[in-house]
Chain A
Amino acid sequence: MNIHEYQAKQLFREYEIPVPEGYPAFDLKDVEYIMDERFPEGKVVVKAQVQTGGRGKAGGILLAETEEEAMNAAKQLFGKTLYTKQSGPDGKLVRKLYIEKQTPHEKEYYLSLLIDNRLGKCVFIASKEGGMEIEEVAEKNPEAILRMPVELSEDVDAEEALSLAEKLGFVNETAEDFVVLLKQMFKLFTERDCSLVEVNPLSVCDEKPICLDAKVSFDSGALFRQPLNAELRDILEENPLEAEASDEGMSYVSLGGNIGCICNGAGLGMSTMDTINYTGGKPANFLDLGGSVDDVRANKAFKLLIREKGIKGIIINIFGGIARTNLIAKGITEAIMETDYQGPVVCRIEGNGDIEAHEYIANCKGNIYPASSCIEACEKMRELLKEEC
């Protein structure tokens, strides 16, 4: 679960991790107030608050020397859609801004803390080459990336941290402050169940390290014990179908194609969209109905999926081990009759309860066809949609 930069920086402040002075603005009045009351001398950065990387390149971060410039920047950004490498084809609409004091600095560094799954440990990653994407650095200059694992049962080791500071070229008080910063960041990470804390760029101003950007992601599996994390969720940043599905216990991902699918199990979900792809179709989504699925959830899944833009046909691929396929078939066939969806639905349903499931399909008056395998279902769909795809 991601949060905005302004929220991440507020968390940094709570953990005494140095950030420049800054304030979130939700409309132009806020910007005016912030400029008048907090930054009468001007010299600010106006930053679009959207949860995607590459905001700067997409024109989402503007420098302003005066209040007038800040107001103009804000007018330009509010309501603008930013298209970045990570934003998807729909882009990200700017609804919030962050007005931050400019920080004069020379060098930019990269710093992050995450869980290295292969090591099974928390690891700091740092580089002198900040300001650009770390993946790019890893590709072009892998030696520039420094790594420091931390034992969860211990704390950040002061000596190791000092050695990392030296490798980055920090000396004296700057190095000491950097060690404190690492300790505080580790504290934030573990106390708040983060999955990523990233500072890009980190810089040095008046010999003190300072975080010019901040990205924090929380472990969604730990929300049950982190009520404060859940409060920081911005539902408007999420794909509405994905958010709704997750509230219903399902996993959903929009993929932009025109053949939808409903499956049980993440592996079967992925292989179904891959098979749609393999037969020359374009998968519209990934959908895993989740464990303990019944007719109510299957019904909701169908109604949710048909709201996806541009759906021409739907493939149902269910293998019932413990899940009862008859309930899934009941929910889906009822949903077909309850909605005005007209496109073809091809069902491959096998396993626990499938005889009854096939009866539901045979008796359904909708545009529905049976299939005996996933590939057969996908080929049938291609045939049915021949003129449209």
Chain B
Amino acid sequence: MSIFVNKDTRVIVQGITGTQGKLHTELMLKYGTKIVAGTNPKKAGTTIFDVPVYADVKSAKEATGANASIIFVPPVAAAASIIEAIDADLDLVVCITENIPALDMVRVHDRLQNARTRLVGPNCPGIISVDECKLGIMPQDIHLKGHIGIVSRSGSLTYETIKQLSKKGIGQSTTVGIGGDPIKGTNFLDVLKAFNEDEETYAIVLIGEIGSQDEQIACEWAKEHMNKPLVGFIGGVSAPPGKRMGHAGAVVNGKGGSARDKIDALKELGVRVAPISDQIGDTLIEVLKEHDLLEKCIVK
């Protein structure tokens, strides 16, 4: 088991003919992801790495039975691509694109209400269920199949964490990069709920950063409803207020948005928080030991 994606996930790549789309299609295929179609309105009828290209998501879905898509379309057309995937009633859309205008994301957010499609991102590295499906741009060779679920706003820190865990023989079930944008589809809370239901996931690492109160909202829910240990990390303790730190959503403005506020709130809710990113793995090991889960989580 895993969450959101598995070996049966059938994928459309929206924007398969662009530089990034092409590069990551090849890498995802190598990983074993079932990419069944690509889209480009001008190149319908052609193929890329033997993947057929269709004019739009609807026809790609009808021809191939795809249930998910990943988007590598530039910011100018990315929101329209997300809406196209929602209109085609896909189960899941992962949007990698960074710098989508905020008002476009408000439109996407409106369209997502009452839709059954799950959006992950934008501005995210995607999702990987280890050895089953990689729907994203994360490096291939750092993962180890196992029982830790990871959810994160940062791509680079996710890779760091996975590498720390794999080195110690601790495998991962699914990793979800929810992205660094302020308006996004799937949030921490949605992912924690899914991990809580997933039998293969024994414990969860949540990697947050400055801006919003999404980490607190998710951990409040977890305190009431989650029966699995949770370890946290929050980036940006030394970030000054009002300054955007790379990600569009990483700005301290307003109550609860600073790293200190978040760390205090998470600790209050009983979440163990790693003091620095290099210690995320060790903090998790400590918590797994306390719950008698360490042996079950070491897979190698």
Footprint of B on A, CB under 8 Å? 86, 115, 117-118, 120-122, 135, 138, 151-153, 190, 193, 195, 219, 221-222, 224-225, 251, 253, 255, 263-271, 273-278, 283, 286, 288, 291, 319-322, 350-352, 373-375
Contact = CB atoms under 8 A, between A and B. Distances in A.
Contacts of B76: 224-225
In the complex, the 3 A-B pairs of residues with the closest C-beta atoms, listed nearest first: A267-B154, A265-B156, A266-B246
Nearest to A287: B246
Taking chain A's interface residues, is the majority helix, strand, or loop, or is none over half, making it mixed? mixed
A134 to B, nearest CB: 10
A263 B156 CA distance: 10
Interface residues of B, number: 62
A117 B212 contact: yes
A72 B103 CA distance: 44
Given A224-B75, A224-B76, A373-B278, A115 B183 contact: yes
Contacts of B101: 193, 219, 221-222, 225
B75 A267 contact: no
B102 A270 contact: no
B107 interface: yes
Nearest to B182: A117
Given A265-B155, A267-B157, A286-B245, A195 B102 contact: yes
Contacts of A195: 102
Contacts of B100: 221
Contact of B103 (A152, A251, A275, A320): A152
Interface in B141-172: 142, 152-160, 163
B98 A115 contact: no
B210 interface: yes
A271 B276 contact: yes
A74 B262 CA distance: 45
Given A224-B75, A255-B238, A120 B154 contact: no
Contact of A319 (B105, B163, B248): B163
Contact of A221 (B99, B255, B276): B99
Contact of B156 (A264, A277, A375): A264
Contact of A267 (B104, B109, B182, B207): B207
B102 A267 contact: no
Given A195-B102, A221-B99, A283-B238, A374 B154 contact: no
Contacts of B104: 222
A357 to B, nearest CB: 15
A274 B239 CA distance: 8
A288 B255 CA distance: 26
Contact of A274 (B155, B235, B244): B235
Nearest to A318: B156
B156 A152 contact: no
A265 B245 CA distance: 10
Interface in B84-116: 98-107, 109-110
B248 to A, nearest CB: 7
Contacts of A219: 101-103
Contact of A115 (B103, B240, B254): B103
A153 B110 contact: yes
B130 interface: no
Interface string B221-256: 000000000000101111110111111111000110
A285 to B, nearest CB: 11
Contacts of A275: 276-278
Interface in B178-212: 180, 182-183, 207, 209-210, 212
Nearest to A291: B98
Nearest to A375: B278
16 contacts: A86-B242, A115-B182, A117-B183, A117-B249, A120-B109, A121-B109, A151-B110, A251-B246, A267-B156, A267-B235, A270-B238, A271-B160, A275-B278, A278-B237, A283-B238, A286-B246
B238 A274 contact: yes
B248 A274 contact: no
B110 A152 contact: yes
Given A153-B110, A352-B139, A267 B209 contact: yes
A121 B183 CA distance: 9
Contacts of A270: 154, 209-210, 235-236, 238-239, 245-246, 250
Nearest to A348: B278
Nearest to A281: B238
